[in-house]
Chain A
Amino acid sequence: MNHMKSVLFLMVVAMLLLSACGGGSAATSVPEQPGDATEVPATDAPASEKKVVTFSWTQEFTSLSPLYSTGWFTAVTQQFWNCWAWNYDENNEPYPYLVTEMPSFENGGISEDGLTITLHLRDDIKWSDNEPITSEDFRFSWAMNIDPKNIVSSTYPEDLVTSIDTPDAQTVVLHFDTPSVAWQSLFTGIVPAHILQPVYDAEGTLDNAEWNNNPSVGCGPYNFAEWESGSYARFVRNDNYFDAPAKIDEIFIRFVPDDTAQTTALVAGDADLGAFIPYSEVPRLKEAGVEIMTQPSGFNEGIFLQVSEDFSHPAMLDVNVRKAVAMSIDFDSFNQDVNLGLVKTPGSFWDALPYYNDPPVEPYPYDPEGAKALLDAAGWVDSNEDGTRDKDGVEFIIQHGATTREVRQELQAVAQQQLADVGIELEILNFDADLFFATYADAGPTYSGELDLQEWSDTPSGFPDPDIYYWLCSEVPSDDNPSGTNSFYICDEELDALIQEQASQLDPAERQETVSKINQIFHDKVYWIGAWQDPDVWAVSSRLTGVKFSGVTPFFNITEWDIK
């Protein structure tokens, strides 16, 4: 014992002695001063001629399986190694990919009553292990999605399909109870039955299938190679791909959670592609020769107004007051100055869908004097001269809530001042997204009706389809309906009927008419105020060629991308 003790003592003393006497010479052995370091990172071309591109993503994907994935980054990753029934081009128009043609009334793909949709599969499509892709894969993908034993991310719109027939290997027949426009969002990614059926049979669920995070078999132009959590993922060219092979050999995805660090990486040439670039980063990127490409993907940043007898500020129940609020905020200047003129103020929730935003709805112009006149006429005047308008002893103070995204907070600050100028006091609140969107049952601020103005970026569900559903009366949250999504508490019978009507109109022309009516109601009753268009913003290295994006399936032409 004593002996051990002295040995340990000696070791400690020796360590201290060494470090004390080491002095300056020791400094060279430790990478303390990066500036003095002579090492040069290997940025020269690699020894082999392998073409590798690096994509920088600010969020890691969750699961790779189309069934379990949540979030945008996972969905776009599927473009590399998985396949959708149909893809969308740079104009966000669908074109057949696994099917021979898009089903329609004309070609009989959609039955007259809209209750049956028939897909004809190409006969040359195959998985990366050379197994053919058949109607069974489609049926299996659907069945797994709605199976209660699988904790999938979303069962919509698969749960609208009542059954699927597979008369032969190339024919998939979908049956519906009611016609639904959501069919276009089906089969956004499929899973291989020949790999996963045995797993399901053995385990009773696909939740723990190894394939989910290590999809050895896929059907896209690239094969999944590896994924190191928090660090990177690699995809290599699929030599068994059934279409024209990709030109680039490998896609390397690096997860960079910080916007500033991502820009620095793009500027330094450590990344070739970045997504979700904040507008404030654009000048720095352009200066470094990085190209900025925008692609409408249906999203618009907007202010959702809560109009509820129970929860809203009484002033907000008056449509003219809501109009005045819209006219008091100078969105155009904000977009010109803060968003650097890269985006415009959308007048419509369907701004990214010109076909449905027809005739195009213009935003309310910035007109503080007009707003004051409207407020005066509505009886909201500053009777006690405290700077804020009031009526019947109620001060005009409303709440504006948003997540903690910076540009939102900037708009809030600007809006606060501009509304103060017309005599409306705006209280600003910020929440993390998981709090902001927490349910009525969890007393989340939006769904509990605490916010008169709610700001986030949203899209018609199933873009490029114009469908919406939040404003349905059946979505209003209550004790009996704790998961309702109508945080605006708007139950407008006319609007409700139109929203229900359009959801089953499979004929585009009829649909256009209905959506136009909804669009006009939104504008006239001021249920939604557009702040700025929110397209996908990509930063693309100048060494990439052939780059195109779609707002739905961003990497639809990834096989044509190349390195200069």
Chain B
Amino acid sequence: MNNQTPTLSELADDLITPPLTLWQLGWLRFRRHKMALFGGVILILLFIFAFGGAFLYTEKYANFNDTSQRLLAPSAEHPFGTDSIGRDILARTIYGGQISLFIGLVSVIIETILGIIIGALAGYYGGVIDAILMRITEAMLNIPTIFLLIVMAKFFGGNVPEIEIAGRVFSGSVIVIIVIIGATSWMYLARIVRAEFLSLKENEFILAARATGTSNSQIIFYHILPNTVAPIIVSSTLSVANAILAEAYISFLGLGVMPPTATWGNMLESSAKYLDSAPWLWFFPGMLILLTVLSINFIGDGMRDALDPRSRTI
């Protein structure tokens, strides 16, 4: 499927278009992908909401409860209404958003690091290392992710003390969730990276680097890895959306981030029973998850179209 030799028609294309780097070309294409641009704008707005909102409300206010003010419909005082113990939902979606986005981003960083290391080692060295790493990858893929998440959430869910990051106290379960999402999602990326390495390592420029005595780690990190960045970025972008959804699922099953630390996922969980009596409880966090996942998916889709070296549409 990977047709490496350019065909006549493709050469003709190259003659007409001025020579652009992959990134310039990518940006040109990405710009035309209207939904990806739209997604980008929404995502920026969401980040402004979650992190800029912190200037409007303190975290103490987000956790402030007053049971006599419970389940109030949206009003001027509480634009998003109040929850089952009278906390302000707007403030909670702001601070919950920070955690949800944080979980999404950090777990994907873990995923990406794991995926690159395992994929690169397997693809570059081949042989026994490849066989062992790919068996591990297969082993992980052989169990449905949700089952793995549940077992691991229970395994790590025991004694996690609260942690303090940048002056804020988090439930230790935030770290647990990040680790288990990262640890159960790297397999696809590892396979992508391995495939890229396999096809790249036989190229002339790598053979040349080897011949001049360049060390293996240099070849891996300076020569091959930069050439595999495009698929890694696309895959990681889409993984952020999956990580945010995974947090919501695991929260729904009661194994997610523990209260009082809010996340969009656990806000949605406890609101399920107020489906009709207090719809603002699920509407706002639900919409925010939806918008985030949606915009990330749009961006990822746009990137895929834009950075795919085989795609010739401009």
Contact = CB atoms under 8 A, between A and B. Distances in A.
Q: Do chains A and B touch in the complex (CB under 8 A)?
A: yes
Given A429-B258, A431-B158, A338 B67 contact: yes
Given A406-B270, A428-B260, A337 B154 contact: no
B70 interface: yes
A412 interface: yes
Interface stretch (A178-186, A211-219, A227-235, A413-421): A413-421
| Residue among B157, B258, B270, B273 with max Cβ neighbours from chain A (10 Å) | B273
A235 B260 CA distance: 44
A413 B63 contact: yes
B242 interface: no
Interface string B136-175: 0000000000000000001001110110000000010000
A404 interface: yes
Nearest to B67: A337
A413 B65 CA distance: 8
Contacts of A410: 84-85
Contact of A283 (B85, B87, B154, B277): B277
A428 B259 contact: yes
A72 to B, nearest CB: 20
B253 to A, nearest CB: 10
A413 B70 contact: no
Contact of A409 (B64, B162, B259): B259
Interface string B267-291: 0001011111100000000000000
A435 B154 contact: yes
A284 B67 contact: no
A338 B84 contact: yes
Nearest to A330: B67
A498 to B, nearest CB: 34
A259 B273 contact: yes
A492 interface: no
Contact of B65 (A263, A284, A414, A428): A414
Interface residues of A, number: 32
A445 interface: yes
A427 B274 CA distance: 28
A414 B67 contact: yes
A432 B154 contact: yes
A417 B63 contact: yes
Interface majority SS (helix, strand, loop, mixed), chain A: helix
Given A259-B273, A412-B260, A417 B64 contact: yes
B279 to A, nearest CB: 13
Interface in B85-100: 85-87
A545 interface: no
A404 B275 contact: no
B158 A334 contact: no
A166 interface: no
B159 A404 contact: no
B79 interface: no
Contacts of B203: none
A412 B157 contact: no
B260 A430 contact: no
Contacts of B313: none
Nearest to B173: A430
Contact of B67 (A334, A406, A427, A432): A334
Contacts of B75: none
B68 interface: yes
A427 B162 CA distance: 8
B162 A263 contact: no
A9 to B, nearest CB: 18
A211 B159 CA distance: 41
A415 B158 CA distance: 22
A208 interface: no
Nearest to A333: B67
A130 interface: no
A167 B185 CA distance: 69
A43 to B, nearest CB: 21
Contacts of A458: none
A445 B159 CA distance: 7
16 contacts: A259-B273, A280-B84, A280-B274, A284-B276, A337-B86, A338-B85, A404-B255, A410-B84, A413-B65, A428-B171, A430-B258, A430-B259, A432-B254, A432-B255, A445-B159, A450-B159
Interface of B: 63-65, 67-68, 70, 84-87, 154, 157-159, 161-162, 171, 254-255, 258-260, 270, 272-277
Given A284-B277, A337-B85, 18 more contacts: A260-B272, A263-B273, A280-B84, A280-B274, A283-B277, A284-B276, A336-B67, A337-B67, A337-B86, A404-B258, A413-B63, A413-B259, A414-B65, A414-B67, A428-B171, A428-B260, A429-B258, A431-B157
Interface of A: 259-260, 263, 278, 280-281, 283-284, 333-334, 336-338, 404, 406, 409-410, 412-414, 416-417, 427-432, 435, 443, 445, 450
Q: Which 9 residue pairs across A and B have the least CB separation, nearest first?
A: A337-B67, A260-B273, A430-B258, A413-B260, A404-B254, A409-B259, A410-B85, A260-B272, A338-B67
